[in-house]
Chains A and B, each alone.
Chain A
């Protein structure tokens, strides 16, 4: 993939499923009932269970791992806002676009605008990312 300002990264799509939310709770140690207990969640203003924000953020990181490989895992950074909850049944698309390329210490720092949106095209996560890649 050519790294130029304006380049869009290959998107990644994931369907949110309650089974994966349950699995994520066990792997992350976050057992908040808003993610796991439909009866509890029904009585809250959210009305249903929602995915952990960090689960949806993991889709973004997975998309960036696909684009930048080990460079992402060893030098990446994220600055994001959670804009809306993701619910079981939603389809999330994670994407990114290069907004800057800066030479630094024999490498290049790639700056990106990143976004996760749902099937209604509503933003679920917005923000920016940076990664150091070889010059």
Chain B
């Protein structure tokens, strides 16, 4: 789906994913997550869940080169264990196309196998204006 074709309320196909122990270990090494390792045991960092949900979203969203991730809202609703199967659901929350300002906000929610919501979020992008036709 590209920006021009999106409308508020449009839903993206749900995406399933899981974070195995190897991926979580790589994530914690990347972000130098010593505090998380110390306090959380087998719990997946919520930002790792959010990052996976956003990557899944990006795969289904054709943003033009120059699109910038400008804002992020996240709410942690419960903890996720390593290897749990998760599903991300996303929809267009707002779209602004006014002159040179193009903004897109997408709501998403991640649920576990019991359909319990473990994470909610809204991600905002600013997009470059469409190229002018000559």
- Chain A residues in contact with chain B, CB under 8 A? 12, 14, 20-21, 23-24, 26-30, 32, 44-45, 52-55, 57-59, 61-63, 65-66, 69-70, 72-82
Contact = CB atoms under 8 A, between A and B. Distances in A.
B72 A55 contact: no
Nearest to B56: A29
| Residue among B36, B47, B55 with max Cβ neighbours from chain A (10 Å) | B47
B101 interface: no
Contacts, number: 118
Interface residues on B, range: 35 or more
A103 B68 CA distance: 37
Q: Give chain A's interface secondary structure class.
A: helix
Rank and list the top 4 A-B pairs by shortest CB-CB distance, nearest first: A29-B55, A24-B30, A28-B51, A27-B27
Nearest to B68: A82
B30 A53 contact: no
Interface in B1-44: 23-24, 26-27, 29-36, 39-40, 43
Contacts of A28: 27, 48, 51-52, 54-55
B46 A76 contact: yes
A21 B35 CA distance: 19
A53 B72 contact: yes
Contact of B47 (A14, A30, A54, A81): A54
Contacts of B65: 44
B41 to A, nearest CB: 9
Given A24-B27, A30-B55, A80-B72, A62 B32 contact: yes
Given A58-B47, A62-B35, A62-B36, 18 more contacts: A14-B32, A20-B29, A21-B30, A29-B52, A29-B56, A45-B66, A53-B72, A54-B50, A61-B45, A61-B46, A65-B40, A74-B76, A75-B76, A77-B74, A82-B69, A82-B70, A82-B71, A82-B72
B79 interface: yes
Contacts of A54: 47, 50-51, 54, 69, 72
Contacts of B51: 27-30, 52, 54, 58
